[in-house]
Chain A
Amino acid sequence: MDAATVRLLVAGILGLPTLGFLVVTLGGTLVPRRVVRLLGPGVIVGAFACVVLLTVGVLERAPADRSITVTLWHWLSLGGKHGGFGATFNVLVDPLSLVMMGVITGVGGLIHIYSVGYMAEDRGFNRFFAYMNFFITSMLVLVLSANLVFLIIGWAMVAFASYALIAFWYERPTAVAAGRKAFITQVIGDVGLVLAAFLIFLNLRGRSGNLLHTVDFATIFANVGPGAHFHNGLGPAGSGLVTVIGLLLFAGAAAKSAQWPLHTWLPDAMEGPTPVSALIHAATMVTAGVYLVCRFHPIFEQAPTAGAVVAVIGMGTALMAAIIGCTQFDIKRVIAYSTMSQIGLMIFSAGIGAYSAAIFQLVAHAFFKALLFMAAGNVIHGIGGEQDIRQMGGLRRRLRFTYPAFAVGTLALSGIPLFAGWFSKEELLGNGLVLGPATPWLWVAGVVVNVLTSFYSFRVLWVTFHGEAHGEEASKAHEAPRVMVGPVLVLAALAALFGFTNIDFGTFHPITIVATFLAPVFGPIARVPAPGVALLALLVGTALSMGGLGLAFLVYGRQAIARDLVPRRAPWVYQLSLQKFYWDEVYDAMLARPMVGLATACRRVIEPGVFNGAVDGVRSAVQTLADDFRTFQSGLLRDYALVFFVFAVIGLLVLGLHLT
């Protein structure tokens, strides 16, 4: 595939969603709904077709030759003493960005199609698709950018799109508050990313020791890490600078991916429409943090401390979210916590250096989590907007297509053998046995996460679809229209079958096709567990996951174990989980209250004293001056002439002094 074709396809990938966004935005409500219904999903599907063609074209090349940089346009060209600074809109097409683009446009396209049904009755139909297309554009800019500048631009655009979509139903105060919370948290992460970019820009040195002042990924990565000549442009491995850069990058990643301590926005973001939850808060945006860590893997490889922090925080978030997920009652919130948990696992994997495992999990997770959200959307749609699982029950007989789809999603999420999640999570955790800090205890934590995950997933499945219908709405539930069921079934098929890409059918060795595809980007993995250990870990992990399933079955299916066992025996554990570890309260006490107190104090003291005083002072000073100057304004020509004459003489005097 020649450069011109690549360029054309990239332009298509970026241009089609932009086109959709612009047409719907500029046209507003003048664009008829039936046009938006075709245009909104159509542009994304078109972009997906471009991605597929581009992937085919890239696969024709030799593995080492699969990284292509296309310059779309020159944006900033500033001269300077260091040879100038320029941010060209370079697009980096490589296996990593292709995988990300495939997920964004593929899953995104399905969700767009689903949205046509889900949002059909909504007043803001056009606005919704404008936002959604804008989000896809932003996300594509983020993953396609070949330099820090456009990465940051995409990063910020994504945050805005997320804000707009969470607060989509702007007449609901809770939705607006949730959108604001998400946006503010994102901005905290943005600051980290921007600071990291500054540090790289200011400190990166080339092989001859000169400061490079570059934002270009290829140049940065060529000058960081061992490389061909063990050159290290940011100081020796583990130095303070590179560790700080790694931690700042992770601050950005943590905000996007809802990792502790920037995780509280994600559950609240469920205030947005369900397709938004599926697209942004399951499949794409929240995985941007994983993408970031993976994209900057040379830096994290140079900063083992930062990598360890990433791994520990990832696993800690996974564990915490899994515990919280066990006690929540809102179906979307449970799925949101499971998202947080699963992304924690990805972040853990990226932190210990198993990048392709993280990306593999990312793709699998995009399938089954989008599936779960959309199936949950069908449920909510079917019973008139109710989200509390206690009001559901017995829905499996009424939602004949959604039920099996949701079940497949649950099985995949729980890591039941032969479903996608089993392949991805077991590979991911296996690496934890030999890589990263505190081996093998993080692996143990990961197994616990898996057990909890299968427990709460089946809890939701049983309470929602089995048993007796609770509440009137649940007994009159109806299946969603075809346009909503179709994408769900497609994703169910993917969630069921995607894992088999993990097996090489020629040899039946467990090697991942994704890992092979990504190998030119990440290089070989540092260490893998011995085959015997890996097999043992696989068996133990799988058995325990299924044990979690069995436990949920005993509690919620057979009711052999009382549901209130934990609340009765260990109320503090139950409360901790139910109250989400009190993080919202902690932040409220630590940040919100002092801020409000400070603002109140300012209003009481500084506002009247300083600001009003200053304003009044300026007013009275101006008035006094004006009163003084008004006497000059006599209106008598003679007075003006006198002033003129006096100043002419003064001018002459100055001239005379100057000449003599």
Chain B
Amino acid sequence: MSVIFGLAAAVAVVAALGVVVAQRTLYSALALVANMVALAVLFLTLDAQFLAAVQIIVYAGAVMVLFVFIIALLSPGAQERLHPLEARVLIGGLAAVAFTVVVARLTLNGVSVAASGRFYGRLGPFAPVLVDRHGQVQTLGEQLFTTFLLPFELSSLLLLVAAVGAVYLSRRRRAS
């Protein structure tokens, strides 16, 4: 398990860096696809099979196709080169490292607290073993259509609004 996590994590980080530093937009998009796939693998290790599938289908599939389509449509020729010594890059990078370290450090603390039984004092009812017996996707679906029905329905409304908005924005205006 740790091996899979280590590999997927390494791929995810490298791919993410690739998204940021790639000179060509298309390379960024490809790196992002790699990142998505690595994340899908990580989702699988977290017993979230449904989300891993959604990640592949929606993100690595639909969304990325949309990205590539736009890149091809707009064909941004200008290449953007990042200078590692640029103040913006240095400051941002430093802040990013600091952020990661602080979060990781705090989480480690949280786990050490958990060992004494306080962090996990109240665990939810969905222990992985029980969920596996019932079926992962089935459990998620039940939750989605019972407890979280309202957010779910609202998200469908959001998709509708987004579709309408996109159509409105990309409609070709008559010469005005």
A and B touch in the complex (CB under 8 A): yes
What residues make up the interface of A, taking CB atoms closer than 8 Å to B? 638-639, 642, 645-646, 649, 652-653, 656, 659-660
CB distance B102 to A652 under 8 Å? yes
Q: How far is the CB of A244 from chain B (nearest CB, A)?
A: 69
Interface flag for B2 (CB, 8 Å): no
CB distance A656 to B91 under 8 Å? no
The CA-CA distance from A659 to B112 in the complex, in Å, is: 13
Interface flag for B95 (CB, 8 Å): yes
Contact of A660 among B88, B103, B106 (CB under 8 A): B106
Closest 5 CB pairs of A and B: A649-B95, A656-B102, A649-B99, A646-B95, A649-B98
**Apart from A649-B102, A659-B109, what 5 extra A-B contacts exist at CB < 8 Å?**
A645-B92, A652-B102, A652-B103, A653-B98, A653-B102
Contact of B91 among A646, A652, A653, A659 (CB under 8 A): A646
Contact of A652 among B88, B92, B99, B109 (CB under 8 A): B99
The CA-CA distance from A659 to B107 in the complex, in Å, is: 11
Q: How far is the CB of A631 from chain B (nearest CB, A)?
A: 11
Chain A binding surface, main DSSP class:
helix
Chain A residues closer than 8 Å to B103, beta-carbon distance: 652
Chain B residues closer than 8 Å to A659, beta-carbon distance: 106, 109
Among B88, B95, B103, B106, residue most surrounded by chain A Cβ atoms (within 10 Å): B95
Chain B residues closer than 8 Å to A652, beta-carbon distance: 99, 102-103
Chain B residues closer than 8 Å to A646, beta-carbon distance: 91, 95
Identify which of residues 95-118 in chain B touch chain A, using a CB-to-CB cut-off of 8 Å: 95, 98-99, 102-103, 105-106, 109
The CA-CA distance from A639 to B92 in the complex, in Å, is: 10
Identify which of residues 67-104 in chain B touch chain A, using a CB-to-CB cut-off of 8 Å: 88, 91-92, 95, 98-99, 102-103
Chain B residues closer than 8 Å to A645, beta-carbon distance: 92, 95
Please report the total number of B residues contacting A with Cβ < 8 Å.
Answer: 11
Chain B residues closer than 8 Å to A642, beta-carbon distance: 88, 91-92
Chain A residues closer than 8 Å to B106, beta-carbon distance: 656, 659-660
CB distance B105 to A660 under 8 Å? yes
Q: How far is the CB of A636 from chain B (nearest CB, A)?
A: 10
The CA-CA distance from A656 to B91 in the complex, in Å, is: 20
Q: How far is the CB of B114 from chain A (nearest CB, A)?
A: 15
The CA-CA distance from A27 to B124 in the complex, in Å, is: 81
Chain A residues closer than 8 Å to B105, beta-carbon distance: 656, 660
Q: How far is the CB of B88 from chain A (nearest CB, A)?
A: 6
Chain B residues closer than 8 Å to A649, beta-carbon distance: 95, 98-99, 102
Chain B residues closer than 8 Å to A653, beta-carbon distance: 98, 102
Q: How far is the CB of A171 from chain B (nearest CB, A)?
A: 70
Complex: chain B residue closest to A636, CB-CB: B88
Complex: chain A residue closest to B99, CB-CB: A649
The CA-CA distance from A656 to B106 in the complex, in Å, is: 7
Q: How far is the CB of B43 from chain A (nearest CB, A)?
A: 26
19 CB-based A-B contacts, threshold 8 Å: A638-B88, A639-B88, A642-B88, A642-B91, A642-B92, A646-B91, A649-B95, A649-B98, A649-B99, A649-B102, A652-B102, A652-B103, A653-B98, A653-B102, A656-B106, A659-B106, A659-B109, A660-B105, A660-B109
Chain B residues closer than 8 Å to A656, beta-carbon distance: 102, 105-106
Q: How far is the CB of A639 from chain B (nearest CB, A)?
A: 8
Chain A residues closer than 8 Å to B95, beta-carbon distance: 645-646, 649
The CA-CA distance from A264 to B166 in the complex, in Å, is: 91
Chain B residues closer than 8 Å to A639, beta-carbon distance: 88
Q: How far is the CB of B17 from chain A (nearest CB, A)?
A: 17
Complex: chain B residue closest to A657, CB-CB: B102
Q: How far is the CB of A329 from chain B (nearest CB, A)?
A: 88
Chain A residues closer than 8 Å to B99, beta-carbon distance: 649, 652
Q: How far is the CB of A17 from chain B (nearest CB, A)?
A: 76
Complex: chain A residue closest to B100, CB-CB: A649
The CA-CA distance from A659 to B109 in the complex, in Å, is: 9
Complex: chain A residue closest to B102, CB-CB: A656
Chain A residues closer than 8 Å to B102, beta-carbon distance: 649, 652-653, 656
Complex: chain A residue closest to B109, CB-CB: A660
The CA-CA distance from A656 to B108 in the complex, in Å, is: 12
Among A646, A649, A652, A656, residue most surrounded by chain B Cβ atoms (within 10 Å): A649
The CA-CA distance from A639 to B98 in the complex, in Å, is: 19
Complex: chain A residue closest to B97, CB-CB: A649
The CA-CA distance from A511 to B106 in the complex, in Å, is: 100
Chain A proximity mask over B7-18: 1 for CB below 8 Å, otherwise 0: 000000000000
The CA-CA distance from A653 to B101 in the complex, in Å, is: 9
The CA-CA distance from A143 to B34 in the complex, in Å, is: 97
Q: How far is the CB of A35 from chain B (nearest CB, A)?
A: 73
The CA-CA distance from A638 to B88 in the complex, in Å, is: 9
